[in-house]
Amino acid sequence: MQTEKEKSHAGKHYKAFGKELFEERQYAKELVFIFNALHPSKIQEREEIIRKLFGSTGEKFFIEPPFRCDYGYNITIGNNFYSNYNLIILDCAKTVIGDNVLIGPNVGIYTAGHPVHHELRNQEYEFALPIIIGNNVWIGGNVVINPGITIGENSVIGSGSVVTKDIPSNVVAAGNPCKVLRAISDADNHY
């Protein structure tokens, strides 16, 4: 019989308030609290907390506080990662973010979801689907990325977008729901 954690990692419905998952979230909240409370000059201390919290990090990264996540260990960030203020990652499933990714303020990356039918929701079931963000992606401010999404490399997601479907590589996409507006070309390579 699978544990609730094993069910969550398998993309099945699970209950998040069992002892194991609850304690893991509490541990992450403690580290996140310390991260967010540190003096702005304590950059190295903040990096150490993120390295301890996340599944893995690139060599160079910067996360502006405040930051929030559920578990931390499901998050992987590549090299040269930057996120602005108020990044929220509900990492109930794997959240893989590539190299050279820029994330604007107030972005929500949500691997967690709830059943559509109220009877299952009322029984406290939820589910989690991985999110993958490729290399060289720029995500504008106030973007929401829903469970199970892949954003291809080199793409740009416009501010205020709600990403409900996969976005291919090398495009500009925006809107609610987020849609591809155009391909990125060599004509975009100018100041």
Active site residues per annotation: 114
pLDDT of residue 190: 86
Contact by Cβ (8 Å): 183, 156: no
Query: Is residue 71 very low, low, confident or very high in pLDDT (cuts 50, 70, 90)?
Result: very high
What pLDDT, in 10s, does the model give residues 21-65?
999 999 999 999 999 999 999 999 999 999 999 999 999 999 999
Give the predicted TM-score (pTM) of the model.
0.96
Residues contacting residue 165 through CB under 8 Å, at least 6 positions apart: 149, 177, 178
pLDDT of residue 1: 87
What pLDDT, in 10s, does the model give residues 100-158?
999 999 999 999 999 999 999 999 999 999 999 999 999 999 999 999 999 999 999 99
Domains of the chain: 4-183 (2.160.10.10)
What span, in angstroms and rounded, lies between the C-alpha atoms of 8 and 155?
29
What span, in angstroms and rounded, lies between the C-alpha atoms of 144 and 87?
10
- Number of other CB atoms surrounding residue 175 within 10 Å: 14
